[in-house]
Amino acid sequence: MDGIHDSIVANNQFVVGLNLDIYSFAKVTNITGKLELETIEEGGYNDSPRMFRKAKTSPDTLILEKGVQTSGLDDALTLGAIVNAGMILVMRDGSIAKQYTFEYGIITKWETDGLDAMSSSLLIRRIEISHTGLVEV
């Protein structure tokens, strides 16, 4: 393997880019897309309501679990940090099988394992990012 694929942790198949930093996670959940609609019934057109796209009223939340940072700055995942560009790469046999992106997010929660020099546990246990919505590329 070459480049970004060299630094994926064993059993981790998801590469996550947050701003310019790269991470490797074992589990990524809440990969969903949702569209909010407003329906209006018109007089004279009774077969079905008219549907219009509404502006999003609440953020989506992405949950990243059991990971390590593979490149970038060490202090990028602070609580309240803004993520101007996010990307999730689903890897299969060393190549990209799927890709998701979001434009804007905020880190709303993070957890780490306890610091233990005798342990081989991963540093990042869980991160939650509230974001504007995922797009499948």
Task: Return the domain boundaries, the chain.
Answer: 3-136
pTM for this predicted structure: 0.75
Cα–Cα distance measured from residue 50 to residue 80, given in angstroms and rounded to the nearest whole number: 39
Q: Which two tokens stand for residue 19?
A: 């701003």
The CATH class of 3-136 is mainly beta
Cα–Cα distance measured from residue 103 to residue 133, given in angstroms and rounded to the nearest whole number: 8
pLDDT at 121: 59
Helix, strand, coil percentages in the chain from 3-state DSSP, rounded to 5: 5, 55, 40
Q: Which ranges of the chain have pLDDT less than 70?
A: 1-12, 45-46, 73-76, 119-123
Among 75, 76, 96, which residue's Cα sits nearest to residue 4? Answer: 96
Query: For 57, which DSSP code?
Result: -
pLDDT at 73: 66
Per-residue pLDDT tens for 64-80?
988 887 877 666 678 99
